[in-house]
Structure formats: C-alpha cells, structure tokens
Amino acid sequence: MKQELTPTHTFRLIDEIFAQQSVNLLSLNPQKTLITSFTELGNLITEQNPDIQLLTTLQETLECIVYTQLQNFPENIFWDFDFLVSSMLRQALVADEGAIPFLTVFGEKMVSLTEMFGNKTEMRFRYVHDFMYGFDWARWVQKEPHKRAHIEPFSLVFLDYLLVKGKELLQRINHGQITSYKLCDTGYRNPFTFSREPKDEYRLLTYLAEEQLIPVAVWNWNASPVWNKPFQEMRQQLALKLDIQPQRH
C-alpha cells in the first residue's frame, strides 16, 4: 500500500530540487545567511490551513515555479520565497474562483514570466531579483499610485502587466528597437549603467537590505511591501558610492 506523503514531506521535495542543483541558497535577510527552507514554509502553511488538497496544489505550484527559475536563471544569487508563499496562500484563500483554480492560474503565469525573461529567450536577464524583491513592482506603482498602491507585488494584475510588457520588449528587441536593454559583454541584458556581475550584484543588494531599501522583504512571511521610495535613484547612487564599475557592452 502506497504511503501517503505528509505535507512536510512534499515541501521537502522542493528543498531536494535545490540540493540536486547544488544551489547556494543565499538570503537577503540581513539577520541570516541562508533562506527559510521549504520544509519550514510547509509547516507555516499547514498551521494556517491544513486542507490536504490546498497543500498539495500549493506545493506542486511552487515546485514548478522553483524548477523554472532554476532552469532559466541558473546564475541567480538570492532565493528567498517566504513572502511569495504567504501571498499565494492569502490570495488563494480569498479568490472568487476558489483556491485551487487560483493557484493553477498563478503558477501558469509565474512559469510563463520566468521563461519569457530568462536566459532561453532573447530577453536574457541574469537574475530574478528585480521581480522577486519588488523593484519592478515599486516602479510600476509609482507611475499611477492612486490606482496601484493597493495592488500587491504578486497579484495576478501585476503578473499580467509584466506578461504584456515582456511581449512588447521581446518584439522591440527582435526589431532592433532597444537602446536601454543592450546585451552586455557577458551575454546578459542589463538596463542599468552599472555592472551587475555576481560580486557587484551581491554587494549592492546586501547593502540595500541592511539599509532597509528593498521594496519587498521576501524573506519575511509578514512583509509590508513599500513602493514610495526612490529605489531606482538610490540604487544608482549606491553603486557610485560602492565604486561599482560601469557596465561594459
């Protein structure tokens, strides 16, 4: 007779995916070095809602998201997931169409986004940091704060916006109409003027985290996303302060 997988065991499968890929699971949390394990996140979810079908769907959705990120962003540095998981759970439990259909749609959009912006298309971004840690979201909210300030970073509304933006960007790249997203000499695109080589990206983001200048503290299950700071400008200024070299093309 087949043994039933416990919720803890199923979430441990995601930890095992990371282990098989030998990923260094760094957290941006200034108080710790490594991320919260998915086994621990599974325990948090189970405490809030022990429904087996919900837990299974959530785990399967996360497994797809993690696997796709690993395949399309193999050089990603920081891997926090706490707030993404709590956001998924919170949104699923209040979704009009029900938790399971919501998670299915959410997973499909996340996978599509990851594949669109990763290293297997002409987009070729190196990291998922700008999306996962809310820089993209904060910039989007700042354009129309009266309409968007209440929309959270991992809402379907924002994911849909990024999917549309991604398609437009790919079209412009394919037609040679891109100036600010040129390929660097490393083969990746970088919309910033400063280098985002791994050592530079690590220094810059850890400094921003220590100064509490990350829009979404994804390492915190109960994070309060912040959009109303000049994150882009502060990042540019900090790159100069840290003497991070200009990006070479």
- Each residue's pLDDT tens digit, 8-53: 668 999 999 999 999 999 999 999 999 999 999 999 999 988 899 9
Torsion of CA 77, 17, 106, 135, to 10 degrees: -10
Residue 83 has pLDDT above 50, yes or no: yes
pLDDT the model gives residue 1:
35
Within 73-144, residue ranges assigned H as helices are 82-94, 99-117, 129-132, 135-143
Q: Where does the pLDDT of residue 179 fall: very low under 50, low under 70, confident under 90, or very high at 90 and above?
A: low
Q: What is the DSSP letter of 6?
A: P
pLDDT the model gives residue 53:
93
Average pLDDT over residues 230-248: 89
CA 99/CA 201 separation, integer angstroms: 36
Which whole-number Å values give the CA distances from 9 to 14, 46, 100, in the listed order? Answer: 9, 12, 20
Residue 237 has pLDDT above 80, yes or no: yes
Q: Where does the pLDDT of residue 6 fall: very low under 50, low under 70, confident under 90, or very high at 90 and above?
A: low
Among 199, 202, 227, smallest CA distance to 213 is for 227
pLDDT the model gives residue 2:
40
Beta partners for 194? 246
CA 247/CA 87 separation, integer angstroms: 34
Spatial contact of 14 and 62, defined as CB atoms under 8 Å apart: yes
Largest CA distance in the chain: 62
Rounded to 5°, the CA angle 54-45-156 comes to 65
Q: Higher model confidence: residue 2 or residue 84? A: 84
Mean pLDDT of the chain: 92
Average pLDDT over residues 231-247: 90
pLDDT the model gives residue 8:
60
Q: Higher model confidence: residue 192 or residue 99? A: 99
Q: Where does the pLDDT of residue 181 fall: very low under 50, low under 70, confident under 90, or very high at 90 and above?
A: low
Q: Where does the pLDDT of residue 4 fall: very low under 50, low under 70, confident under 90, or very high at 90 and above?
A: very low
pLDDT the model gives residue 248:
65
Share of the chain above pLDDT 90, in %: 81
Spatial contact of 236 and 205, defined as CB atoms under 8 Å apart: no
Among 67, 174, 175, 70, smallest CA distance to 121 is for 174
CA 85/CA 75 separation, integer angstroms: 22
pLDDT the model gives residue 71:
97
pTM: 0.93
From the DSSP assignment, how many helices (H) and strands (E) are in the chain?
Answer: 11, 0
CA 165/CA 159 separation, integer angstroms: 10
Residue 7 has pLDDT above 60, yes or no: no
Spatial contact of 88 and 61, defined as CB atoms under 8 Å apart: yes
Residue 180 has pLDDT above 80, yes or no: no
